[in-house]
Amino acid sequence: MDRKARERIVYAAVWLACLAPLLWLAWRGYAGELGANPIEAVIRKLGVWGLRLLLVGLAISPAARILRQPRLIRFRRTVGLFAFSYILLHLSTYIGVDQFFDWAAIGKDILKRPYITIGMAAFLLLTPLAATSFNGAVRRLGPKRWRRLHQLIYLIVPMGVVHYYLLVKADHRPPLIYGGIVAALLGWRLWAARKSA
Amino acid sequence: MLIRQGGDLTENDVTPRGIYLRRREFMTGVAGAGLALAAGPASAIALRGEPSRYSTDEEKTSKDNVTGYNNYYEFGVDKSDPARNAGALTTSPWTVKIDGECDKPGTYDLGDFLRGNTLQERIYRLRCVEGWSMVIPWLGVPLADLLKPYGPTSKAKYVAFETLERPSEMIGQRRSVLYWPYREGLRMDEAMNPLTIMAVGLYGETLPNQNGAPMRLVVPWKYGFKSIKSIVRISFTEKQPPTAWNRSAAREYGFYSNVNPEVDHPRWSQATERRIGEFRRRPTLMFNGYGEQVASMYRGMDLRKFF
Ligand code: HEM
């Protein structure tokens, strides 16, 4: 097998891994296995997978450095775009299915519910990152500005965690676990930057 | 899993004048007539109740959903956890402690506590604070009928309730997600309101454990968390008693917690709700649609302040 074919297989595997939660969710929905409140279940699953993929995206460069596999970096864009897609679906389900395009109620939610306010802000910040994730954008913005823009992710992911923390009623352990992972991934960057400085 | 058995007991439940709750005294070996309310954990026993004028004729939520989608943190925080974990709970024997401002405090066997009362079927809307709702055919007894025999004194202004605390069987209690035991409370007039019932069954059977076996409160004009489950203690108090969710987040959960579409929870709008099984949200009704029976109790009160 030549390198190109191998590369294609690896990409296909990454794609499939990113798509698997969505396919699984669709299958469970089709089979009627999403429980008594399927709309809530879909919103939550999409949200939590969006967050997980954001974490995977954040973990790629540390992993590439630690494992000395610099070529892992090439998956960052794929993972990031999938994270964005899950969050877009998460938001769309909330708007189109849960609230059924009741814009007045949605507007009130965004203004009055801190967890929705911060989720929405995180989504709005994420959108330019998704929109500039093709090669042409790097060229157009210039690598420096592009990198500066994409550093927003260090703010966006913690906002996603805070969104999660704020919507949980009593059991704060799951969002705190995600928060701990994010803190470790961002902390590693600070540490690595200081070491190389 | 709930294994249905004991259907043979149905004939015994129904008498021409009404339907009486009695207890099969298999624990003590006394050959009593009647039915076992406090049966083993894996058995549901058929119950019948007199129809009530307080019942709604709205479409009932399916039994699968009523018994499979529960908030009962003693058995886990996910709504599918209680159905999975509550089977471990031993509901027989069961006693209830009555104390505080009353003439006849004491610890009573569940059968004695319920004895002689007519079981009614009450088909009620249930509105959860999270913005979903169900219609559930409960079987129960007006709380007033159960409490009056204990002679609450003139000092008894509130009634406090407590859920069982038994971490060995209630695995959710092994972590302090809430202050255990779970506590709830009602003002005396709310407790005595004819809508307030102590439920012992649903859908024609004894309560499944995940729904609060062997007995739970049902207060249909309040958010679901007020309807405390698996009750082991009832206290008459002079002061407003502490309640579990209020202690956990006072800004979010008030003592009254009446269903009110105009007063939002900080995290959820309460204007609409999703009826389980339906696609579109529907408007939430003031007092969950029970204003005719309960609004007068709150006349002159600022329901934004006393939320
Ligand atoms: C970076 C963006 C976002 C991330 C990472 C994210 C992540 C999450 C997570 C992890 C959950 C909890 C899932 C669970 O309980 O298992 C959640 C729930 C939810 N999110 Fe988001 N979210 C984001 C943006 C948004 C936006 C923009 C909205 C709407 C405007 C939104 C609305 C909701 C709602 C309504 C819930 C469910 C709350 C409930 O069921 O009580 N999210 N989200």
Average pLDDT (B209-237) is 97
> pLDDT band for position A26 (50/70/90)?
very high
User: What DSSP designation does B283 have?
Assistant: E
- Chain B, nearest residue to A114 by Cα: B267
Q: Could you give the CA distance from residue B280 to residue B302 in angstroms, rounded to a whole number? A: 31
**Minimum mean pLDDT range among A42-51, B10-19, B272-281:** B10-19
Q: Whose CA is nearest to atom 17 of ligand 1?
A: A47
Residue-wise pLDDT for B129-177, tens only, equals 999 999 999 999 999 999 999 999 999 999 999 999 999 999 999 998 9
Give the pLDDT mean for A104-113. Answer: 93
Looking at the complex, report in whole angstroms how far the Cα of residue B171 sits from the nearest Cα belonging to chain A: 14
Q: Quick one: pLDDT at residue A117?
A: 97
* Mean pLDDT within A85-98: 97
**Is the model's pLDDT at B62 over the cut of 90?**
yes
Q: How far is CA A74 from CA A87, B169, B259, B276, in A?
A: 21, 50, 53, 44
Please give the Cα distance from A40 to B253 (Å, whole number): 22
Look at A35 and B80 and tell me if their CB atoms are within 8 Å: yes
Q: How many domains does chain B fold into?
A: 1
Assess if residue A103 is contained within a domain: yes
Q: A120 in ligand 1 pocket by Cβ < 6 Å?
A: yes
In this prediction, residues B200-228 reach a mean pLDDT of 97
Domain assignment present for B304: no
Nearest residue, CB atoms, B68 vs list A36, A113, A171: A36
Q: Which domain holds residue B243?
A: 17-298
Identify whether B273 is part of a domain. Answer: yes
Point out the least confidently predicted range of A94-98, A185-189, B33-37, B103-107.
B33-37
pLDDT greater at residue A162 or residue B265: A162
Can you give the CATH number for the domain in which B250 is found? 3.90.420.10
A57 lines ligand 1 (CB under 6 A): no
Gap between the Cα atoms of A190 and B286, Å rounded: 53
What count of residues does chain A have?
197
Is A37 in contact with B271 (Cβ distance < 8 A)? no
pLDDT band for position B46 (50/70/90)?
Answer: very high
The rounded mean pLDDT for chain A is 95
- The verdict on a CB contact (< 8 Å) between B248 and A170 is yes
- Residue B282: closest C-alpha in chain A: A99
User: What is the number of domains present in chain A?
Assistant: 1
A104 touches B: beta carbon within 8 Å:
no
Cβ–Cβ contact A111 with B under 8 A: no
Query: Of the residues A98, A163, A178, which should be mutated to test ligand 1's pocket, given the most ligand atoms within 8 Å of the CB?
Result: A163
What confidence score (pLDDT) does residue B143 get?
97
Reported ipTM: the value is 0.87
Residue A28 in domain: no
> According to the model, what pLDDT value does residue B30 have?
25
Categorize the per-residue pLDDT at B6 as very low, low, confident or very high, splitting at 50, 70 and 90.
very low
pLDDT at B49: 94
Mean pLDDT of chain B: 87
Residue A22 has pLDDT above 90, yes or no: yes
In a domain? residue A169:
yes
The whole-number average pLDDT for the span B4-18 is: 35
pLDDT at B9 over 80: no
Do the domain assignments include residue B1? no
Q: Give me the domain span that covers residue A55.
A: 36-196
Q: Which amino acid is at B45?
A: I
Residue pair A65/A73 in contact (Cβ under 8 Å)? The answer is no
CA distance linking residue A171 with residue A173, whole number of Å: 6
Answer whether residue B178 shows pLDDT above 90. Answer: yes
Chain A residues closer than 8 Å to B279 by CB: 39
In a domain, B5, yes or no: no
Domain for residue B307, yes or no? Answer: no
In a domain, A3, yes or no: no
At B71 the pLDDT is: 96
* pLDDT higher than threshold 60 for residue A65: yes
At residue B42 the predicted structure's pLDDT band, cuts being 50, 70 and 90, is low
* pLDDT recorded at residue B266: 82
Question: What one-character-per-residue DSSP string does A134-155 give?
Answer: SHHHHHHH-HHHHHHHHTTHHH
Q: Is residue B174 part of a domain?
A: yes
> Does residue A12 fall inside a structural domain?
no
CB-CB neighbours of B104 under 10 Å: 10
Q: Which of these, A147, A171, A176, lies nearest to A161 by C-alpha position? A: A176
